[in-house]
Structure 1
Amino acid sequence: MSKYYFVYLLKDIATETHHYTGFTEDLADRLARHNRGQVPHTAPFAPWRIETSIAFTSEEKARAFEQYLKSGSGRAFAAKHL
């Protein structure tokens, strides 16, 4: 059975104006941690919902895509396509 690595984009539920991009191996647990306020960067804007998630079988490719989405051109790509 293949292991998956997820790149995900979150959007805050209250105002839908805050976004967060991250990487995880356990998407459900990671979302729960964001919503419990256990991630300092996202705690002030909880609760969150998953806007987009993409599964990779390669950790290297997943981390590279996460870094791309955090760049200027990656943020523009995500806003337009994801």
Structure 2
Amino acid sequence: MDFIVYILQSKKDNSYYIGFTSDLNQRLEYHNSGKSRYTSRKMPWKIVYTEKHKTRAEAMLSERFLKKQRNKEFYKRLIEKIN
């Protein structure tokens, strides 16, 4: 099973949300359903970046690295690189 680190972008205010999952479609549906306290305020969300990892530990490290950046310009450059 692969684990996917993802960045979502709010269509409401262009803010970012970073997480990881083994089922990206289900996770996006969760964020856009209003069930998450944080993401419900900024719905709807779209996927703007993904990366696959073979283990949960690798995905957690990557997620932690991305969250530590706390820099919109960094995220924009990362997203532009894959597009």
Distance (whole Å) between structure 1 residues aligned to residue 29 and residue 56 of structure 2: 22
Structure 2 unaligned regions, length at least 5: none
Q: Please provide the CA RMSD for this pair.
A: 1.7
Give SS of 2:41's match.
helix
Provide the residue aligned with 2:3 in structure 1.
5
Q: Which moved more, 1:36-45 or 1:71-80?
A: 71-80
TM-score (norm 2): 0.84
Match of 1:63 in 2: 60
Aligned to 1:38: 35
List 4+ stretches of structure 1 deviating above 6 A. none
Q: How many residues align?
A: 79
* Higher helix proportion (structure 1 or 2): 2
TM-score (norm 1): 0.85
